[in-house]
Amino acid sequence: MAEFALIAPLLITLLFGIIEFGIAFNRAQAVEAAAREGARLASLSTTTFGDVQTRVDEALVGIPMDGPVTVTVTPTGCLGREGEAVTVVVTTDHNVSVPLVLNSNVPLTGQAVFRCEA
């Protein structure tokens, strides 16, 4: 019993760390996929920023985020820019909370670049 009492806090902290890493990894992959979805739509010449924002929000449905999701599109449109690149960056925060060890926000960023289409 004494050995377990000494090791239990370490094992519980390790368990919570593994769970937090899994959640952060899942959200990071979702942010990256949402950026890719937004960039694919932004590469079309008739797309507006609102369309890209909606597509990113739809891609993140079911993935709870700890902070607001920010979408940046550079340049703002592809009309008349066939062959040039459009970049979509999606950023948000993830609160990492491991009891007795860590409690901080980690920024999650996803970026995708597509070539503008006609």
Cβ atoms < 10 Å from Cβ of 33: 17
User: In the prediction, which pLDDT does 79 show?
Assistant: 80
| Residues belonging to the chain | 118
User: In the prediction, which pLDDT does 77 show?
Assistant: 78
Confidence of residue 45 (pLDDT cuts 50, 70, 90): confident
Task: Please name the residues in contact with 62: beta carbons below 8 A apart, sequence gap of 6 or more.
Answer: none
105-115 pLDDT, tens digit per residue, is 899 999 999 99
Residue with token string 């920010």:
70
User: In the prediction, which pLDDT does 97 show?
Assistant: 85
| Model pTM score | 0.85
Asked if 85 and 112 touch (Cβ cutoff 8 Å), the reply is no
Whether the pLDDT of residue 65 is over 80: the answer is: yes
Confidence of residue 81 (pLDDT cuts 50, 70, 90): confident
Whether the pLDDT of residue 5 is over 90: the answer is: no
Residue 113 to residue 4: CA distance in whole angstroms: 52
In three-state secondary structure terms, 92 is strand
The single-letter code of the amino acid at 76 is T
Confidence of residue 118 (pLDDT cuts 50, 70, 90): confident
Q: If you ran DSSP here, which 8-state letter would residue 89 be given?
A: E
Strands (E), 1-118: 70-74, 85-98, 102-115
User: In the prediction, which pLDDT does 92 show?
Assistant: 95
Residue 20 to residue 91: CA distance in whole angstroms: 19
